[in-house]
Amino acid sequence: MENIVQIITRVLENNSKSLHSTINEKSSLRKDIGFDSLDLAELTVIIEEEYGIDIFEDGFVETVGDIYKKVSK
């Protein structure tokens, strides 16, 4: 979970976006964290490189917890 948060923070940082609330499992990637589709695509590539899992391969991912569930399967 901690690593996922780190990746999310890194994507925000690299794209000069700031975070307005703390990240937890229930944080919505779009609404709370403010990701757009390009940010999500970038996130997907990084997670795939680290975990070998394409989080958008089979449907939709809404929250940070959804990602965590997929990578810890």
How many residues are there in the chain?
Answer: 73
Residue 57 beta carbon to other proteins: minimum distance, rounded to whole angstroms: 5
Nearer to other proteins, 11 or 23 (CB): 11
Q: Output the smallest distance, CB 71 to other proteins, in A.
A: 15
Residue 49 corresponds to which tokens in the numbers above? 């490189």
Give the integer Cα–Cα distance in Å for 38 and 8: 13
What's the sign of the alpha-carbon dihedral 39, 67, 61, 64? negative
Amino acid residing at 49: E
Binding residues (CB under 8 A) for other proteins: these are 13-16, 36-38, 40-42, 44-46, 54, 56-57
**Closest CB to other proteins among 23 and 43?**
43
Q: How far is the CB of 42 from other proteins (least distance, A)?
A: 4
